[in-house]
Structures are given as structure tokens and as C-alpha cells.
A and B are shown apart, each in its own frame.
Chain A
Amino acid sequence: MLNYRLVAALTLLCAAVFPMATQWAMEPSGSWFRPFVVWALMVFSGYVVQRQRVWDES
């Protein structure tokens, strides 16, 4: 029942993507809105994951 794909995604996010994304967002030469871009990508990934779910009610 446990969603192992989601756990794997979370682990990947914490281990690899998050440090990279933080480094890119916080680059001194980068635009001020870069952290928001990272956030928007996370929102989009949340949308994609939820779209793939199968609902009992449907």
C-alpha cells in the first residue's frame, strides 16, 4: 500500500535535486526570482504525480 515511488522521488529530491536546485537558485549572479522558479517546478511535478493517480471514485 505504501507508495514506494513517492518515497523514492522524495529521497531523490532530498539527496540530489534539492542541493542542486538550491545552489542554482542562490547563485549570486542569478535573478531574484530563481527560488520561485524552483518552487514552480515543484508545483508542476506535484500536478503531474497527482494526474497519474487512479481514483476509486471515478
Chain B
Amino acid sequence: MNPETLLAVIGSLAVGGFSAEFLLRLKHPMANALVFNLTLVAGSGVLMAMGGMELAGRYGYTLVIAMIAFTLIFLFSPLIFFPLRRLVEVIKFATLVDFLTFRYRGGAVAKMTCVCLVAASMPLFLAQFFALRSIVEFNLSPQLQSPVMLALVVLIGLIVARAIRSDTASYLSRMMASAGLLLVLAMGATVWLCIDSVFGGVDAMNQWVERSGQTAILRRESPAYSIISIFLVASFALPLNFNLLISNQISDRLSSSTAYVYPLLTLLLCIPVLPILWAGSILEPTFPPQDYLYVLPAVLESEIISGLGTASILLLSLSLLVSLSIMLSRMILNSFVLPDKNFYRQSELDNWIAQRITLSSLLLIVVALLLDTIVAGLSVTDFYLIGFAGLAQLTPGMLAALYLPSVSRRGFLIGLIAGISLWFATLVLPVFSGSWSGFEAYTGVALGMENWHIWSIEALLVNILLCTLFSSFGKMDDEQASYARLCMADNVYVPARVRLDQVSVDEVKLSLQKSLGDSAASEVDSALDELGLNASERRPAALRQLRDQLSASLNLRFGVLAAHRVMQQTLPFRPSIEKQPDDIYLIESMLAIHGGRLTGLASELNKLRVHHREVLDNLPIGLIAIAQSGEILKWNTAIADYTQIDKEVAIGSAIDELAQPWQSFIDDFLAADTPAQDSIKLLVGDQARWFNIQRSVDKNQPELGADRVLLVEEQTQSMMLMQSYMENERLASIGRLAAGVAHEIGNPLTGIACIAQNLRYQREQTPIGKSATQILSQTDRIDRIVKSLINFSRGDSAQCESLETVQLRKIIDEAIDLLSLSYSQRRVEFICTVDPLLHVQSDPQQLIQVFLNLFGNALDASPDDASVTIAAESLGDTVEVAISDSGAGVDENIQHRVFEPFVTSKEPGEGTGLGLWVVFNLMTDLGGSVSLTSPARDSDRGSTAVMRLPCK
């Protein structure tokens, strides 16, 4: 090899590597898109670098249309790849074989698809070896060629091992992006060199094209239909395209850039093909057109550009061999080895898998190398055409998976086997054994590449025809039908609302350990991280999500078959004879996430759904929807307020998981089988609360009754008002009774007083006279009390219509006397310093009631042997009365609310919370005001009630 060329090759490889790394480090969306699309370009790089010239030479403009068709699949990726990506977001597939296995189910599908894909990819391996051999033969002397080829094979093995040990996808992506970049540079530099050196400029070239009739040559008849169809179909099934576009490491935005960046790069690579081909036809080198990229610059004595071309083809071939062998090995492992592997007994499972992938990759490369030594007489283009015709056999099954749910496993397998067999017999076997003359004599059509355009299309048509026939006349089982619906392009994956045997994350870990051993715990932990759930989760819906996440993660690690086996063995769904409804909880969350993608009627329906959900959420009464399994599907804002249980926590939980007393409340009601229950008393904390509960059942559609809807309404305020009303009624009855009793007591009391008075006059100085005086004193007291009771009972029904001048001290004393009747056991002293001359404008009975309430509160709050002080002072137009106690005082948090109804600082059951509310209303009626301060005036404890009463 020329030293300049060698330097140029090494320099180009270094520049390519650094440039790709630089672009990645930019972290700019356009740079990322460029790197990603260069990786895709590299996937078919050798076809463009070498096959392009040969295709153009053979078929003229058909090359351009074929390459447009090849990129068309990306232009319409929203129809093909985006539905797949949506499915992959939930299910996760590592390979194309996994996708087809998931759709069509069963080990036979996995094995058959894998064999077909490996067989169809083998010509692509051979194309890469052919490219490597071509550059080695051009650049090196014959004695160096074999050792260098051997060294390159060893290098491929080392790269495979290195890629598998590191982050494989990232490693290969960098390598392929560098190769793609070098290819773009090489094509650009070569075409520039050719136009400048051979033609002397673009105008001169155009004139030469006109003169030489090249346009007519380009438009010659060719098997355009076959080439375009096979290129279009095969690009979908190319393992590299599929893996890159469905990769979960690639964002949707990046993936969508393939719609224009990839076709643009391919266009830029195709434009130079014709000028380079024309330059070759003038220079007439001894090498075929497929070698022009590095041969023409060498002929034109530009060793640097020749080195650049050589480096690009070298790196393209190496990177595709490595990535293709790793991808196919993964498929082989997932289809043939892992489905029957006992993971529990295997220590360091990931290492074991990595070793098997490495060995399998090396085996594939060795097989390809052996085939390369056998096969002769084919060009890079031939290898690609044979490979594409084989890969095209997988595309009908893939498209049917997305758009034709009626295609069955049997139809898919029979179509695929027939198509791939015809492909093998008509295009592959003749490569080794030559065309069978007998067949040609009988049919008039030769086998092999000579009639590629016939056999490639016929194999595809036979595949499609048999697939359609056997799917139309066969019947799919329920499992197949369900997975067929799931894979539909316009379907949203919603798992059924089935139950697991496990009820907690720990149980899930324990079960998974039976299959995965020690790695189960880390697998579950990473799934929890991914979902944002915690390890204490017990909600059935959350556990189902966890199972789905684990299944998806195992799909990626072990493939669909092995993951399905592990999940069935360790986390099976509880068998049920009833049809399982969809998981409403997941439908809701998915619609919330993907609602923006909906269009047309679906979008309108989604708006309606959101509206109805908001209506239910904002209902002023509590609403709970419960599945037949006892799982909560709906928990609106009102019920969340009642129970203080967030809807995020409640939805997806089982009723059994709710805190008490709510669990018993709902369970008891569901068990009672009555349509409604009123005023159920619940003790929430220390507080008694009452609720009405009723169920909603659609009598016209009893099957909907499987999901029960409960309406819960709080009745606590109504119940307390009712209890207060009943207490007041009882007290009023006692009051009326007391008035009657007082009246009846009056007559005998008068008699007793008269007798005692007579007795005192008659025996004034005797002990009997003294006793009579005491009897008179006691009867006076009884008389005062009786009169007070009568006055008070009359005042109960009196309205505050007219105010009169009232002696304040007298009212206070009367209230104290009345209070002493019901608080006789309390040793609390009332100290009243109110001036007897103070008068206020008020209703005496209303005022007594005010004082009774305030004194009663003061007595309740005061400890024994304490005192309650009552002071008053005139403030001009008003008199201020202050009643201070030395009790515990009123909590600062409720001080501003003490005059509201049902607010009390007393222990539950000791106060209704209505006393101060009554005081406030009475004082307002009397034209005065009342306020409460705590601690009491001139004290650090207790409280003072301050009343202001008008005195004029």
C-alpha cells in the first residue's frame, strides 16, 4: 500500500471517530439527529458506496427510484414505525424476531423467523466481506492480502467482544456514525475530484452528458418494478433499521428526523454516483464500477481521497459486520437458548448471556467467512439484491401485525416458509450449484441472479398469497386474537383488570426469585424506580403495573418467549372464569398522557371524557366506583376530603387496603345489600361523624352492576343541629315543668311563711322564735328562687321587643342564684364588684340568659376553689361588664371562632358549642356586643368575656 494512502486511511478513521464524538458532545438536537441518521446511512453504507455505482451502471435511473423507495419507509414512518414505537413503549422488544413472536405467539414463530432472518442476512455479511476483500486486494500486494484479511477477522472478533462488554448500542452507534460521516465525505470529495479533474467543471460535464447520450442510457428499460418493490419492502425488515427506530433510547423527536434527514443524506450520497460513474467510463480503469470510490482517486493520483474512500468502506464493513452479528446472535439466543434456560441456577446471568452472544457472533462471522470463500462470481450488488429479496419475506408479516388483525400464526408461518423456501431455491442455491438446466428447459426461465427480478417478486407474492389464504380459512384462538388486536396500529395497549396472587412488592420479589434467583430483587427495584412507586405499594393496580414493567424489562433482557415463561411461572394472573374487563385506571392514565395524539372523533370523545371526569370529581358529595374485584376505580374530591385519603392513594387500591373506619363502612354497606343507609355514625379519630351512603345500579343494564358506584354524603352538621334541637326541646320541657312546680310551691310556701311569722311573734325570745326566724329566712330564699324561676320561664318565650332600664347588679345576682341550683357541688366563688347603681337598657330575661351562659362557661372552665370575678364600669353611653375566670383559657386557634355554632374547647360530649353562639345572638339583639380574650385580663391564664351594653 502506498504510504500516503495508508496515512490517509489512518487519518480518516481518526477524523471520523473524533467528528462523531464531537457531534455527540454538542448535545444539540440537530447534531444528535445528524449522528442518528448517519448511523442509519451506515447500515446500508456499502450498498451506497460500492453497489450504487454498479446499480446505476446496470439499471440507470432505476437506482434513483430504488433508493427513493428505500427511504420512503422513513418518510412515512408515522404509519409504520410510530405505531410500533407506541407498542414498544409498553411491551419493549429487543429485536424484530421478538416483535413477530409477540404478535404471532409461540416458539415455532420465534425459531422460524430467526432462521429466516439469519439466512436472509447472510448475503449482507458476504457483501461486507466482499467489500473488505476488494479494498485489501486493491491496496495490498498478493502476499499481504490473506494475513490482512485474517487480521481483520480477528479485529472484528475483538470489536464484538469489546462492544458487548460496554454499552453495546452506544458503542456501535458511534462506530457506525463515524463510518457514515466518512462515507459522506468520501463521496463528496471523490465527485468533486472527478468533475474537476476529468470533466473540467460541472458545465463541461453536463455538455459531455448531452453529447455522449448518457441520459438515454440512464432511461433504458430495466426491471424497475422488482427493484423498487423489493427495496421498499426490505428496508422495513432490515434488522438495523428496525432496532434503531424502535430503540427506547431514541426519542420520538429524534426518530421522526429520519423522515427528512435520512432521505436527504441518501440523496446527497446518490447524486455523486452518476458523475463518478461517468468519470469512470472516461478513465476506464481495470476495476469494476463498485470499486470506483477509491480506484478513481488513485487513478487521478489523489492518494488522500483514495485513502478516505478506503477508510470509509473499511469502517462501514467492519461496523456492519459487528452490529449485524451481535443483533442476529441476540435473536438466536432469544429464540433457541433462553426460552428453555433455567435462570435460577445460573450465577452471573448477564455475563453468561454476554459470553453466549460473543460466541454466537463469532460463529456467524466464521460461517460468513467460509461462505465467502465458496461463493464466487457475485458482486456487492448481487449480494444486496439476494439479501433484500430474503428480508422482504418478513415484511408482509410485520405489516399484517400492524394493520391486519385477521392474519393468523398459521398463515404467517406457511407464507413465510413458502416465500423463504422459494427465495432459497431460486436465488441462493443457484449461487452454489448453478442454474438447473432441467428446470430452465421445462419452464423457460433460468434460476439465479439472471432472473432476480422474477424470483424475488414471485417469492414475495407466494408468501402474501399463502398467508392470506391460510389466514382466511383458519380460525384464530383467543390468545392470538387478543395479541393481534394489541399490535394494531391504532390500538392503545390496555391490560385487563386481572388480579395477581401477590399482594405486596415483597411477595412479588419472593415469587420472582424462584426463576431469577438473586437478581430478582434488583429487577423489581429498578422496575419500581421506573414507575415511581415505592416498596410498600400494595394497590392491585400498582402491582399490575409493576408486573407489566417487569415483563417489559425481561422482554428486553431475555426476549419475549423467556420473559413470558418467567412471568407465567412466577407472577401468573389469578385464573378467572369471567371475562376480565379492561383496566380503567390504566386507560385513564394512558389517555391523560397520550391525549394530545388523538384526532377527530377520538379527540372529541376524549374532551367529553375529561368533562365528565371533572363533573364527577367536583361533585359536592363523595363518589366511589368499585370494581367487582373490590378495587377502587374512582375516588372523587369530596370523598377524599371526607376521608383525608388522597385519590392517588385510593384509586387502584382494594377496599381492604383502606384505613378504618372507612374500610368497614364501605364493606359493611356492600355486604348489607341494601340500596341505601342513612346516618351511619363513624368515629373518625375522636370525633363522631355521620354519613348517608347509597349505591347506584343501572337496572336497565345489570351487567354494569359488576362495577359498583357508591354515593356518600356527610350528615354531621345536620345531625348535631338535630341533637341540639332535641336537647333544647328537653330543656324547654323541664323549664315549663319547673315553672309549674314553682307556682305550686308558692301556695304552701306562703302558708309556711305565715305560720313561721306567727310563731316568731308568739315566741320571740325563745329558741323556737329563733328557729321560726331561720324558717322565714329559708322560705324567703325559696321564694326568691321560685320567683326567679317563674320570671325566667316566662322570659323564655318572650321576644326582645322593648328594652327597659335594668339594675345590672340585681340581674347578675339573680343569674348567680339560678346557677347555684345546678352547680351546687362546685366550690367556685363568684366575686361581683358591680356597682348597684349601674343601670343598663336591656331585656332582663334575655340578659339573665346571657349571664347564665357566660357564668356557666366560667364555672366549667374554673378548677375547684377558684373564683370568677365580675366587674363593670360605665363608659358613657355603654356599660362594660367583664367576667374573668382562672381556667385553662381558650386555644388561640379557635379564639376568633368561639362565637360560631358548634365550636367548643370542651371535651367531646360535654358541650354542644352553641352557648356562646346564643350569647352572641342575644347580645346583638340587645344592641350590645360581646368579645372573648384569653388569657384573662391582668392574668396569664383563664379568659375574660367582655360585654358592652347600652345604658341610655
How many B residues touch A, CB cutoff 8 Å?
A: 42
Determine how close the nearest CB of chain B comes to the CB of A2; give it in whole angstroms.
4
**Is A15 at the interface (CB under 8 A from chain B)?**
no
Contact digits for A20-58, partner B, Cβ 8 Å, 1 yes 0 no: 001001101011110110011011111101100111111
Contact A2 to B490, CB < 8 A, known contacts A39-B267, A43-B260, A43-B263: yes
Contact A49 B259 (CB under 8 A): yes
Contacts of B556-611 to chain A: CB distance below 8 A: 593-594, 596-600, 602
**Is B319 at the interface (CB under 8 A from chain A)?**
no
**Is B414 at the interface (CB under 8 A from chain A)?**
no
Residues on the A chain within 8 Å of B490, using CB: 1-2
Residues on the B chain within 8 Å of A16, using CB: none
Contact B64 A35 (CB under 8 A): yes
Residues on the A chain within 8 Å of B252, using CB: 55-57
Contact A50 to B598, CB < 8 A, known contacts A32-B274, A55-B252: no
**Is B209 at the interface (CB under 8 A from chain A)?**
yes
Determine how close the nearest CB of chain A comes to the CB of B897; give it in whole angstroms.
48
**Is B492 at the interface (CB under 8 A from chain A)?**
yes
**Is B219 at the interface (CB under 8 A from chain A)?**
yes
Residues on the B chain within 8 Å of A30, using CB: 215
**Is B264 at the interface (CB under 8 A from chain A)?**
yes
Q: Report which residue of A1, A2, A31, A53 has the largest number of chain B beta carbons within 10 angstroms of its beta carbon.
A: A1
Contact A32 to B215, CB < 8 A, known contacts A49-B259, A50-B260: yes
Contact B219 A28 (CB under 8 A): yes
**Which of B75-83, B342-350, B448-456, B793-801 lies at the interface with chain A?**
B75-83
**Separation of A36 and B599 alpha carbons in the complex (Å):** 35
Contact A26 to B267, CB < 8 A, known contacts A10-B76, A42-B68, A46-B260: no
Contact B489 A47 (CB under 8 A): no
Residues on the B chain within 8 Å of A46, using CB: 74-75, 259-260, 263
Number of A-B contacts (CB under 8 A): 88
Nearest A residue to B65 by beta-carbon distance?
A35
Contact A7 to B79, CB < 8 A, known contacts A28-B219, A46-B263: yes
Nearest B residue to A51 by beta-carbon distance?
B260
Determine how close the nearest CB of chain B comes to the CB of A56; give it in whole angstroms.
6
How many A residues touch B, CB cutoff 8 Å?
A: 33
Residues on the A chain within 8 Å of B253, using CB: 55, 57-58
Contact A42 B219 (CB under 8 A): no
Contacts of B45-94 to chain A: CB distance below 8 A: 61, 64-65, 68, 74-76, 78-79, 83
Contact A43 B264 (CB under 8 A): yes
Determine how close the nearest CB of chain B comes to the CB of A46; give it in whole angstroms.
4
Nearest B residue to A36 by beta-carbon distance?
B271
Nearest B residue to A25 by beta-carbon distance?
B61
Contact A6 to B274, CB < 8 A, known contacts A42-B68, A46-B263: no
Contact A26 B219 (CB under 8 A): yes
**Is B218 at the interface (CB under 8 A from chain A)?**
yes
Determine how close the nearest CB of chain B comes to the CB of A21; give it in whole angstroms.
10
Contact B489 A1 (CB under 8 A): yes
Residues on the B chain within 8 Å of A25, using CB: 61
Contact digits for B191-219, partner A, Cβ 8 Å, 1 yes 0 no: 00000000000000010010000111011
Query: Residue B206 contacts which of A2, A3, A26, A32 (CB distance < 8 angstroms)?
Result: A32
Contact B214 A32 (CB under 8 A): yes
Q: Report which residue of A26, A46, A54 has the largest number of chain B beta carbons within 10 angstroms of its beta carbon.
A: A46
Residues on the A chain within 8 Å of B264, using CB: 43
**Is B256 at the interface (CB under 8 A from chain A)?**
yes
Query: Residue A39 contacts which of B68, B215, B274 (CB distance < 8 angstroms)?
Result: B68
**Separation of A36 and B764 alpha carbons in the complex (Å):** 142
Residues on the B chain within 8 Å of A7, using CB: 79
Residues on the B chain within 8 Å of A43, using CB: 260, 263-264, 267
Contacts of B466-505 to chain A: CB distance below 8 A: 489-492
**Separation of A8 and B594 alpha carbons in the complex (Å):** 23
**Separation of A45 and B71 alpha carbons in the complex (Å):** 13
**Separation of A26 and B217 alpha carbons in the complex (Å):** 12
Residues on the A chain within 8 Å of B214, using CB: 32
**Separation of A32 and B490 alpha carbons in the complex (Å):** 42
Contact B596 A32 (CB under 8 A): no
Contact A36 B256 (CB under 8 A): no
Contact B260 A54 (CB under 8 A): no
Residues on the A chain within 8 Å of B593, using CB: 56
Contact B206 A31 (CB under 8 A): yes
Contact A36 B64 (CB under 8 A): yes
**Is B257 at the interface (CB under 8 A from chain A)?**
yes
**Separation of A54 and B597 alpha carbons in the complex (Å):** 8
Contact B270 A36 (CB under 8 A): yes
Residues on the A chain within 8 Å of B74, using CB: 46
**Separation of A32 and B602 alpha carbons in the complex (Å):** 47
**Is B437 at the interface (CB under 8 A from chain A)?**
no
Contact A32 to B260, CB < 8 A, known contacts A3-B79, A26-B61, A42-B68: no
Nearest A residue to B75 by beta-carbon distance?
A46
Residues on the A chain within 8 Å of B351, using CB: none
Contact A57 to B251, CB < 8 A, known contacts A1-B490, A6-B79, A28-B219: yes
Query: Residue B267 contacts which of A36, A45, A57, A58 (CB distance < 8 angstroms)?
Result: A36
Residues on the A chain within 8 Å of B215, using CB: 28, 30, 32
**Separation of A1 and B216 alpha carbons in the complex (Å):** 46
Residues on the A chain within 8 Å of B251, using CB: 57
Contact A28 B257 (CB under 8 A): no
Query: Residue A3 contacts which of B78, B209, B492 (CB distance < 8 angstroms)?
Result: B78
Determine how close the nearest CB of chain B comes to the CB of A45; give it in whole angstroms.
8
19 contacts between A and B (CB under 8 A): A1-B491, A2-B490, A3-B78, A3-B599, A6-B76, A6-B78, A26-B219, A33-B271, A36-B64, A39-B263, A40-B267, A42-B75, A42-B263, A43-B260, A50-B256, A55-B253, A56-B252, A56-B594, A57-B252
- Closest A-B pairs by Cβ, 7 of them: A47-B260, A46-B260, A1-B490, A46-B259, A35-B64, A2-B490, A46-B75
Q: Give 8 new A-B contacts, CB below 8 A, not counting A1-B492, A36-B267, A49-B259.
A: A3-B599, A10-B79, A35-B64, A39-B263, A43-B267, A47-B260, A56-B597, A57-B253
